[in-house]
Each structure stands twice: as structure tokens, then as C-alpha cells.
């Protein structure tokens, strides 16, 4: 499992996702709003369908989803957002991709650059990092899942691969377009799903073994994810469970 996937799991266990639920819903609503500008019908707009599925997986209410769609289609007043992917490096040569939706490019660019500057990272030119990543569907399960059960449920629903991780958890890989269909199949099979998303996944991982680098990387991730305009942060670090637990404490 990549370091970023481990980081998502640790945040879930620490309850960080619950504490930030309001911020998460605001970001999801913005994604839906932008996707709906190309059409408000989920059956004919696959980008909107994915955004809505992601919101429902996070337990966002139908009313909030409908309001976001209406803002996007112009039925209600909404902002004008621009999609930007920033690229950068954290300590240890770790590559980062920062997915942004903003109504002010100059403000957000300055904020992202300031985070890197203050916390020991650096911005990169467009294309310097992105070639290392491709978008994939990734589902992480809880502990104690029966291997035969998850293999059957996931592969029958269209998953590409199921990998067992340390501690009895599993990582399910899919095409981005079917990740929430596979999640629904796992839910129906009674399998605990910690997270389901379609992130940018690195082809090759960068090992991180130094405690100082580990803490600096996680500080940058937290600062970026806390920014209202940042939708997702993707990285290519590989860190042991023990080091990450210490660095995240």
C-alpha cells in the first residue's frame, strides 16, 4: 500500500475524517457544482455521476447534493470555479499533486506556494511530477475481512485486483469509473469499507525512512488538505506503519 493510502487509513482511525466532515462536504459540493456545469443529469454526465457517488459514499445528504447540482446548472446562484493541478515536492524527493478548485487562482496559488515554502517543500513546473501518476479506483477495507468473500464480491463487480495488506486489510484496485459500483458490492457483502475514491496513483514509490522527513511530509499533507480550495492531494511516498504512526502522533 502506498504511503498516502496508509495516511488515509490512519486519519480514519484517529477520527480526523469525522472532525473535518463539514469541510469535506463543502469540498464535495464544490466538485458536484463544477461537474454539473456540463449538465445536471447523472445518467448523461459521467463526471457528475462520479462526484455524486463520491458524495453519497461520504454520507452527504440528498438535499445538499441537489442544491449543489442546481448551483452548477444555474438554477441557483453559485460561484465560478477553475480546476487546477499543482505539482510539487516534499522532503525526501516525494512527489505531490494538488487538485484544486478555486474562484481565485492568484490567491490559491500563493497559499499553496506558502505551504511548501514554510514546511520545507517546493513547487514544481507543470509536468515535472504528473508523468509519475495515473488515475485509479482504490478501495480500502477494514480489518478481519474474509479473503474468499472479498475476492468474489470485488472481482464479480468489476475490480481489477485485490491485494491483502498487513493486519488483515485489503486494497481493491479498479478502473475509476466503477470504483463506487465495486464499493456498493462490498457493502452488500457486509465488508467494511474505510475509503473508496479514484485518486492519482504513483507508478513507483519513494521510500521514506527518516523520522524528520516523515513528519515534514505529513505536515505538508495536513496543511494542504486543510485548505478550502484543495480537493485532493496525491503523493508517492512509501513509509512503514510504525514510522507513520509516530510521525502522525
pTM exceeds 0.85 for this model: no
d(CA 59, CA 52): 10
Q: Per residue in 5-24, pLDDT tens?
A: 666 666 655 555 555 667 88
- pLDDT (mean) for 42-60: 87
Is pLDDT of 71 > 50? Answer: yes
d(CA 240, CA 221): 17
Q: Which residues contact 190 (CB under 8 A, 6 or more apart)?
A: 149
Backbone dihedral angles phi then psi of residue 210, each to the nearest 5 degrees: -90, 135
d(CA 120, CA 215): 11
Neighbouring-strand partners of residue 84: 100
Q: In terms of C-beta density within 10 A (0-12 exposed, 13-18 middle, 19 or more buried), how is residue 113 classed?
A: middle
Which residues of the chain form beta strands (DSSP E)? 82-90, 94-102, 122-124, 133-135, 137-141, 161-164, 170-174, 193-197, 200-202, 206-208, 230-235, 237-239
Please, are residues 138 and 5 in contact by the beta-carbon 8 Å criterion?
yes
pLDDT of residue 136: 93
pLDDT of residue 74: 82
- pLDDT (mean) for 33-42: 89
Q: Per residue in 130-187, pLDDT tens?
A: 999 999 999 999 888 889 999 999 999 999 999 988 778 899 999 998 998 999 999 9
pLDDT of residue 19: 52
pLDDT of residue 111: 97
pLDDT of residue 224: 94
pLDDT of residue 1: 46
Amino acid at each position: 500500500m502506498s504511503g498516502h493510502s496508509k495516511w488515509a487509513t490512519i486519519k480514519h482511525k484517529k477520527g480526523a475524517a469525522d472532525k473535518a466532515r463539514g469541510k469535506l462536504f463543502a469540498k464535495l459540493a464544490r466538485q458536484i457544482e463544477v461537474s454539473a456545469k456540463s449538465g445536471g443529469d447523472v445518467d448523461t454526465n459521467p463526471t457528475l455521476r462520479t462526484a455524486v457517488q463520491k458524495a453519497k459514499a461520504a454520507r452527504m445528504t440528498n438535499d445538499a447534493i441537489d442544491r449543489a447540482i442546481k448551483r452548477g446548472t444555474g438554477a441557483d446562484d453559485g460561484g465560478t470555479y477553475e480546476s487546477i493541478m499543482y505539482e510539487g515536492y516534499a522532503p525526501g524527493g516525494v512527489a505531490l499533486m494538488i487538485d484544486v478548485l478555486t474562484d481565485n487562482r492568484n490567491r490559491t496559488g500563493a497559499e499553496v506556494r506558502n505551504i511548501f515554502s514554510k514546511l520545507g517543500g517546493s513547487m514544481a513546473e507543470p509536468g515535472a511530477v504528473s508523468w509519475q501518476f495515473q488515475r485509479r479506483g482504490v478501495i480500502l477495507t477494514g480489518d478481519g475481512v474474509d479473503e474468499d468473500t472479498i475476492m468474489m464480491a470485488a472481482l464479480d463487480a468489476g475490480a481489477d485486483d485485490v491485494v491483502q495488506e498487513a493486519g488483515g486489510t485489503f486494497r481493491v484496485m479498479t478502473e475509476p469509473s466503477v470504483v463506487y459500483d465495486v464499493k456498493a458490492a462490498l457493502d452488500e457483502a457486509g465488508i467494511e469499507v474505510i475509503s473508496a475514491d479514484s485518486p492519482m496513483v504513483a507508478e513507483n514509490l519513494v521510500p521514506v525512512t527518516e523520522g524528520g522527513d516523515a513528519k515534514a511530509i505529513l505536515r505538508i499533507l495536513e496543511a494542504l488538505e486543510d485548505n478550502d480550495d484543495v480537493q485532493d492531494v496525491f503523493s508517492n511516498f512509501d513509509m512503514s506503519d510504525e514510522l507513520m504512526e509516530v510521525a502522525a502522533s
